[in-house]
């Protein structure tokens, strides 16, 4: 068994290149289905739904060529509320369904809506393989760090010691860092946003849609019933500036209250193989890390800046580095085979090499 040069065409440029466009004006209302939204009052899903309904028309693609596939969990009701094609599938398996759909239908913009339990627990295997294959699907991972639909058990992103219905003495599991996991799974696009920050959420979604390949977007959102205030540190005016680190490709990573030059008071610098946060004034400007979304190692280091404590939380695009997509390559192989054998004849195939005839 030897590797062979695939001889496939180059990387496609944009995630929506093969999706038919429309000049007709579309609005959020066009993308709103007739179904009543049934999340709990105060659920972060509302904010994401509103952001997505507003964002989809800006893509300029035909609504009928948009498909949302979800798994199981509160967030997975998402497709019912969008007037596109949609499938509410089974627990953890949405990436598999999206893979088959995207591979056979390059003319579709395929989105997966999933949660921390759906994507990282029961569906962990499918998530990492979809990312590794780099299928042209966009995965929105709603992370509220709790199981909501089953009424309040800890999830694979819950912090250690979390007291829940199933862990009255505190949970023992060490949580996943979804960004580190996705980067470790060779994801070619990884981003993160906070549900309430519509502007940056839409910016990340826009970049994800335009990326050709798998995109994972982690969206922090609260479950007001079972895990209220989980991301308060990133929301409250007195703490958020110290903790949220927005990154932009090509720009030095500075954050916090603006200094005299309008730049953040804090900066990210290299520290051994990792990164650390310092007061910008204490270091040379040249030592401040400039974000490079094509640098896999930097993306990983950024994802490690904080874990459960939300101490320093990067938002924006960690990684955006196109490479061959599985679905483009799979279609190219089929096309190459057809080109090589344009007269492929079923009867000839059935006959094979050796036949005999009885009269």
Partner 1 sequence: MTTSDTPVEARDSEVVQRDRVVIRFAGDSGDGMQLTGDRFTSETANFGNDLSTLPNFPAEIRAPAGTLPGVSSFQLHFANYDILTPGDRPDVLVAMNPAALKANIKDLPHGGVLIVNTDEFTKRNLTKVGYESNPLEDDSLEPYAVHGVAMATLTRGALEETGLSKKDAERAKNMFALGLLSWMYHRPSESTERFLREKFAKKPEIAEANVLAFKAGHAYGETTEAFAVTYEVAPARLDPGTYRQITGNAALAYGIIAAGRTTSLPVFLGSYPITPASDILHELSRHKSFGVTTFQAEDEISGVGAALGASFGGSLGVTTTSGPGIALKAETVGLAVTLELPLLVIDVQRGGPSTGLPTKTEQADLLQALHGRNGEAPLPVIAPCTPGDCFSAAVEAAAIAVRYRTPVMLLSDGALANGSEPWKIPDVSELPTVDPGFATEPNAPDGSGEFWPYLRDTETLARPWAIPGTPGLEHRVGGLEKADGHGAISYDPDNHDRMVRLRQAKIDGIEVPDLVVDDPDAGPDNAGADLLVIGWGSTYGPINAAARRVRKLGHSVATAHLRHLNPMPANLGEVLRSYRTVLCPEMNLGQLALLLRGEHLVDVKSYTKVAGLPFGAEELQDVFLDYLTGTHPDASRNGSRTGTSNQITGAQA
Residues that bind partner 1 (CB under 8 A): 20, 33-35, 62-67, 69, 72, 79-80, 82-91, 93, 95-105, 107-108, 125-126, 129, 330-331, 333-334, 336-338, 340-341, 344, 346-347, 349-352, 354-359
Task: Tell me the backbone φ, ψ of residue 239, rounded to 5 degrees.
Answer: -120, -25
CB of 90 to partner 1, least distance (A): 5
- Measured on CA atoms in the order 246, 252, 258, 262, is the torsion positive or negative? negative
Distance CA 125, CA 102 (A): 18
DSSP states along 169-230: T---PPPP-HHHHHHHTT-SEEEEEETT-HHHHHHHHHHHHHBSS-EEEEEE--BTTTBTTT
Give the DSSP letter of residue 136: S
Task: Tell me the backbone φ, ψ of residue 251, rounded to 5 degrees.
Answer: -115, 145
CB of 246 to partner 1, least distance (A): 34
- Rank residues 171 and 325 by Cβ distance to partner 1 and give the closer one: 325
CB 111 within 8 A of CB 67: yes
CB of 343 to partner 1, least distance (A): 9
- Rank residues 273 and 356 by Cβ distance to partner 1 and give the closer one: 356
Distance CA 77, CA 21 (A): 27
Distance CA 161, CA 148 (A): 18
CB of 96 to partner 1, least distance (A): 3
- Rank residues 43 and 277 by Cβ distance to partner 1 and give the closer one: 43
CB of 36 to partner 1, least distance (A): 10
- Rank residues 78 and 266 by Cβ distance to partner 1 and give the closer one: 78
Beta bridge partners of residue 111, listed in sequence order: 68, 138
Give the DSSP letter of residue 258: E
Structure tokens given for 74: 């509160």
CB of 286 to partner 1, least distance (A): 44
- Rank residues 133 and 192 by Cβ distance to partner 1 and give the closer one: 133
- Rank residues 215 and 277 by Cβ distance to partner 1 and give the closer one: 215
- Rank residues 40 and 172 by Cβ distance to partner 1 and give the closer one: 40
CB of 342 to partner 1, least distance (A): 8
CB 203 within 8 A of CB 247: no
87 Cβ contact partners less than 8 Å away, ≥ 6 residues apart:
67, 68, 69, 70, 79, 94, 97
CB of 15 to partner 1, least distance (A): 16
CB of 16 to partner 1, least distance (A): 14
- Rank residues 105 and 304 by Cβ distance to partner 1 and give the closer one: 105
354 Cβ contact partners less than 8 Å away, ≥ 6 residues apart:
none
CB 268 within 8 A of CB 288: yes
- Rank residues 261 and 355 by Cβ distance to partner 1 and give the closer one: 355
């Amino acid at each position: 068994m030897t590797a062979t040069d695939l001889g496939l065409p180059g990387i496609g440029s944009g995630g929506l290149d093969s999706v038919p466009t429309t000049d007709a004006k579309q609005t959020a209302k066009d993308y709103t289905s007739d179904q009543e939204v049934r999340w709990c009052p105060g659920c972060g899903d509302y904010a994401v739904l509103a952001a997505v309904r507003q964002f989809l028309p800006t893509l300029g693609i035909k609504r009928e060529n948009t498909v949302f596939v979800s798994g199981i969990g509160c967030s997975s009701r998402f497709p019912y509320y969008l007037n596109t094609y949609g499938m509410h599938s089974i627990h953890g398996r949405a990436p598999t369904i999206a893979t088959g759909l995207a591979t056979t239908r390059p003319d579709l913009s395929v989105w997966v809506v999933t949660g921390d339990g759906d994507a990282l627990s029961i569906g962990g295997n499918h998530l990492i393989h979809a990312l590794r294959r780099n299928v042209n699907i966009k995965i929105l991972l709603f992370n509220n760090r709790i199981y909501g639909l089953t009424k309040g058990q800890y999830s694979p992103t819950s912090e250690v010691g979390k007291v829940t219905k199933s862990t009255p003495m505190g949970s023992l599991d060490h949580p996943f860092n979804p960004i580190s996991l996705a980067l470790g799974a060779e994801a070619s696009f990884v981003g993160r946003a906070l549900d309430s920050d519509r502007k940056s959420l839409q910016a990340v979604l826009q970049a994800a849609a335009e990326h050709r390949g798998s995109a994972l977007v982690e969206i922090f959102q609260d479950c007001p019933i079972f895990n209220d205030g989980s991301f308060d540190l990133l929301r409250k005016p007195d703490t958020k500036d110290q903790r949220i680190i927005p990154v932009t490709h090509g720009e030095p990573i500075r954050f916090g209250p603006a200094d005299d030059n309008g730049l953040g008071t804090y900066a990210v610098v290299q520290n051994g193989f990792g990164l650390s946060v310092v007061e910008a004034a204490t270091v040379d400007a040249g030592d401040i890390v400039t974000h490079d979304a094509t640098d896999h190692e930097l993306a990983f280091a950024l994802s490690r800046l904080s874990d459960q404590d939300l101490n320093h939380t990067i938002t924006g695009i960690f990684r955006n580095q196109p490479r061959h997509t599985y679905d483009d390559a799979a279609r190219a192989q089929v096309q190459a085979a057809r080109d090589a054998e344009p007269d492929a004849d079923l009867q000839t195939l059935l006959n094979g090499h050796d036949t005999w005839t009885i009269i």
